[in-house]
Amino acid sequence: MCGIVGYVGFRNADEVAISALRRLEYRGYDSWGVAIAKDGEIVVKKNVGAIGDIKDFSLGGGKIGLGHTRWATHGKPSEINAHPHLDCKGRIAVVHNGIISNFRSLRERLENEGHTFRSETDTEVIPHLIESWVERGEDFADAVMKTAEELQGSYAFVAMKADDARLVAVRYKSPLVLGVGDGEFFLASDIPAMLEYTNRVVYLDDGESVIVSKDGYRILKNGVEVEKGIEIVPWSIEDAEKGGYEHFMLKEIHENPRVVEDTLLEYLGEDIEIDSRIFAGISDILFVACGTSFHACLIGKYLIEELAGIPVRVEYASEFNYSNPPLSRTLVVGITQSGETADTLEAMRKAKKLGMRVLAITNVLGSTATRLADHVIYTRAGPEIGVAATKTFIAQLTVLYLIAAKISNLPPKEIEELLNELRSIPQKIRQILDMEDEISSISETFAGYENMMYVGRGIGYPIALEGALKLKEISYIHAEGYPAGELKHGPFALLGEKTPVVACIVRDKTYDSMLGNIKEIKARESPVIAVANEEDDEIEKFVDYTIRVPSTNPILTPLTYSVALQLFAYYVARLRGCEIDKPRNLAKSVTVE
Ligand code: M6R
């Protein structure tokens, strides 16, 4: 996820910017850049890759400047696409975090007006818009405000003008914090960037803008000045690098609502903005993936068959490489958050060789998967640092719902209802995050076991598989995911008081059968935790613990139940003292077969 910083004061802005950017490195990035204004000129330096060990970074030491770490979303990682971005004359510089969803139409308009663009980014429209307002006689700060009114999507951006002593920043649905020092001020997307200099901060809210000079700041909303209190941040720099969370995994679980929002923002406008040519003329779909992404595929199969009636197969990428799939008009979909998983890439290569059309769903722009595929759909999760996939899984699911809805043959009204319900999911996930203490206290009872079983039926089955994978990889408890109906065909032999069972029970056609299974499990003395719909009054009579999740359309339950199970796995692993972000023997990106 991009990190932005801005500085105005008495220090050398280039030095402050580079040290602030280093503090934001934990957010993940693929390129970076710094700009300062000095002697009426803007000086910029951009680079692909890590900031690394650059010693004595200097752009000549102006007292006002910007910095940015970029996580590519629109346009590959490259020097040209890195921020800061400039207007035509190189007099206005901007750093931005977020997505400008109407950038195409804005860019087209600006190009028609004579503006020349250099990058592929959505961000570059911002300095050009500011320039066009300045050229019409607006003061710089007013030009920035007017620009913000033209933007749709999510943004926090900071703008600087070569001959102006002010930074102007606006926030809408992306984080932005103002740091208040003595005779100096900082802007950043996250507190660690400024903690070395000040712990006095003002949190900006959506729709607020701030005009900052070395002499002070003014915060405005809808053109009216607002008073906001300064807050003292009690963190050390080390605490703050994980945004105050103890582990990246927990931070990333907490990012789930925003990830769904960003992915919807990208692809769900008045219509579902996914290229329909990807699916034109296909007879069936074959998903290939590994690990958590494989579980997303299983959910994708359920969704597409249910909503679109198109046959879907799902294969472990590593196994697909030994199979002889029948040739047809199959669309092969490789799901991989990293875009670099060797087995998934190999499966995609094989599909290409067999003449099949290949779609990649990935979180990493410019990754190998995107170069192999005929089509790419990006998830908008931002970088994931914890080895356990959490927010990227939820982002993959969000994309799969949109695909299933896009190719659905159900009546438009039903799809509209589903999409409306999908729009309410971020809020429901927030409610689950509010139940963190409750889930953590349930996990205390289970942290001492060495075996656990997760079961479900229908769409509850892949939820169970993913819940079990999360638990085993970070807590080292042996956990199995099973279709509940299969228990009596073998796994019953494992049940008993030492093997708790997590039952993912969904209020759909599978409900009664699941209830029957839960009774069978209880009869074998296994402790049972149910993950259930909050309106389910019955379930508590049959189980030992219930994690009650806000009600939604049953087909959407993977988005909510999975977050509850991510938290459960996290707290169990934490109690067991495991190295949660870097579990033993595992790597974030598995680039060997
Ligand atoms: O980057 P990918 O989605 O292709 O990665 C696939 C698996 O390696 C990954 O999901 C792995 O299972 C995670 N550690 C699960 O949390």
Q: Within 6 Å (CB) of ligand 1, which residues are found?
A: 290-293, 336-338, 341, 344, 387-389, 469, 473, 586, 589-590
Active-site residue identified among 2, 290, 297, 504: 2
Amino acid identity, position 390: T
Three-state SS string over 376-424 comes to EEECCCCCCCCCCCCHHHHHHHHHHHHHHHHCCCCCHHHHHHHHHHHHC
Residue pair 552/582 in contact by the 8 Å Cβ criterion: no
**Which three-class secondary structure state does DSSP give residue 278?**
helix
Nearest to 279 by CA among 325, 331, 327: 331
Domain with CATH 3.40.50.10490 in the chain: 242-423, 432-581
The predicted pLDDT at position 25 comes to: 82
CA-based torsion, 45, 28, 156, 269: positive or negative = positive
Nearest to 193 by CA among 44, 356, 321, 69: 69
The predicted pLDDT at position 486 comes to: 96
* Tens of pLDDT, residues 41-58: 999 999 998 887 677 788
Nearest to 527 by CA among 438, 435, 437, 444: 444
Domain with CATH 3.60.20.10 in the chain: 3-237
CA of 479 to the centre of ligand 1 (A): 17
The predicted pLDDT at position 593 comes to: 64
Per DSSP, 290 falls in state: -
CA of 258 to the centre of ligand 1 (A): 21
The predicted pLDDT at position 1 comes to: 66
- Please state the separation of Cα 398 from the chain's center in Å: 11
Assigned CATH topology for domain 432-581: Rossmann fold (3.40.50)
Tell me the CA distances in angstroms from 191 to 10, 14, 234, 360, 475, one per residue in order: 20, 18, 11, 35, 30
The CATH architecture one would assign to domain 3-237 is 4-Layer Sandwich (3.60)
Classify residue 487 by burial, with Cβ atoms within 10 Å: 0-12, 13-18, 19+.
Answer: buried
Distance CA 26, CA 28 (A): 5
Here the tokens at position 205 are 């809210």
Low-confidence stretches of the chain (pLDDT beneath 50): none
Residues forming a β-bridge with 478: 451
Test site for ligand 1: of 252, 368, 377, 590, most ligand atoms within 8 A of the Cβ: 590
Distance CA 285, CA 333 (A): 7
Per DSSP, 272 falls in state: B
CA atoms within 13 A on the CB side of 554: 19
The CATH architecture one would assign to domain 242-423 is 3-Layer(aba) Sandwich (3.40)
Amino acid identity, position 379: T
**Which atom of ligand 1 is nearest to 344's Cα?**
4
Active-site residue identified among 221, 228, 352, 588: 588
Question: Is 413 a known active-site residue?
Answer: no
* Tens of pLDDT, residues 201-230: 998 988 999 999 999 999 999 999 999 999
Test site for ligand 1: of 249, 293, 377, most ligand atoms within 8 A of the Cβ: 293
